[in-house]
Amino acid sequence: MKEIALNLKSMQDYRINESYKQLRTNIEFSGEENKIIAVTSCTPSEGKSTVSLSTAYSLAEAGKKVLFIDADLRKSVLTGRYKISGEMKGLTHFLSGQGDLSEILCKTNEKGLFVIFAGPVPPNPAELLGSKKFAALLKEARNIYDYIIIDTPPLGSVIDSAIVSAVCDAAILVISANTISYKFARSVKDQLAKTGCNILGVVLNKVSMKQISITANTMVNTTDITEAINNQNRRA
């Protein structure tokens, strides 16, 4: 098993760290059956990868054993963002039969946090994520980890996230403040609901700290999407 350094704590200030603690608490109180959680967004660049990995770190910080899976096989940014160097096999290698689990699983310098990176862009990402091998990976991981957090592609752009969510216990939708309309967010939320996955809520991300009754990176119930988006639009 390869060991990597992420140094996530040094990248968060106090307010952001507190927001992730709130998000962590919401997840923990959502029910013990919600162990495998997909994270998606409406469009690229809304911050879902940062939110999902930081949430995984926050859970690990609380003493949980957590597996983070980068399932954004089309446009992963994590290896570049965290400057992961050297030969790195990822989820694509495993799902296509080019690597086993021991080759793709990484232990991080953050206690309790393990990572599987995406790997190279495959020609058939949706098919790989919908394979029996991916479902079997999650089934095995459920018996080992307290939580499995999965970063998935934007559901408003490609179908991959719905495919992954169908084999997850729950999902979280990340929405960037002042950029996504209620109509679009509702459409993506409805598409996610059709998978049968329990939607835990919405993280309203990139909120100006000057605005706030809804803080940055705070999860709200999906029934409050209208109010959350309308409120942040009025404050813009």
Alpha helices in 88-181 (DSSP H): 91-95, 101-104, 125-129, 132-142, 160-165
Judge whether 236 lies within some domain. no
Measured CA to CA in angstroms, residue 118 lies from 58, 94, 106, 183 at distances of 21, 10, 12, 31
Give the separation between CA 4 and CA 17, rounded to whole angstroms.
22
Give the separation between CA 220 and CA 228, rounded to whole angstroms.
8
pLDDT tens digits in sequence order for the chain, 236 residues long = 888 888 776 566 778 888 889 899 999 999 999 999 999 999 998 989 999 999 999 999 999 999 999 999 998 888 777 777 767 899 999 999 999 999 999 999 999 999 999 999 999 999 999 999 999 999 999 999 999 999 999 999 999 999 999 999 999 999 988 888 889 999 999 999 999 999 999 998 887 666 544 333 445 454 444 344 344 444 43
Question: Looking at residue 11, what is its pLDDT?
Answer: 60
Dihedral sign of CA atoms 116, 159, 153, 29 in order:
negative
Q: Is this prediction's pTM over 0.75?
A: yes
Give the separation between CA 198 and CA 110, rounded to whole angstroms.
29
Q: What is the CATH number of the domain that holds 39?
A: 3.40.50.300
Which residue do the tokens 């980068």 mark? 70
Judge whether 72 lies within some domain. yes
Amino acid at the residue 222: T
Residue-number span of the structural domain to which 147 is assigned? 2-172
Amino acid at the residue 187: S
Token pair of 191 as six digits:
């598409």
Judge whether 234 lies within some domain. no
Judge whether 99 lies within some domain. yes
Judge whether 198 lies within some domain. no
Which residue do the tokens 């813009």 mark? 236
Give the separation between CA 114 and CA 213, rounded to whole angstroms.
34
Judge whether 70 lies within some domain. yes
Measured CA to CA in angstroms, residue 85 lies from 3, 56, 98, 186, 233 at distances of 11, 22, 20, 39, 41
Number of domains in the chain: 1
Judge whether 79 lies within some domain. yes
Judge whether 219 lies within some domain. no
Measured CA to CA in angstroms, residue 60 lies from 42, 88, 148 at distances of 27, 23, 11
121 and 160 Cβ atoms separated by less than 8 Å = no
Q: Is 63 exposed, middle or buried (0-12, 13-18, 19+ CB in 10 A)?
A: exposed
> What are the φ and ψ backbone dihedral angles of 156, each rounded to 5 degrees?
-75, -10
Question: Looking at residue 82, what is its pLDDT?
Answer: 73
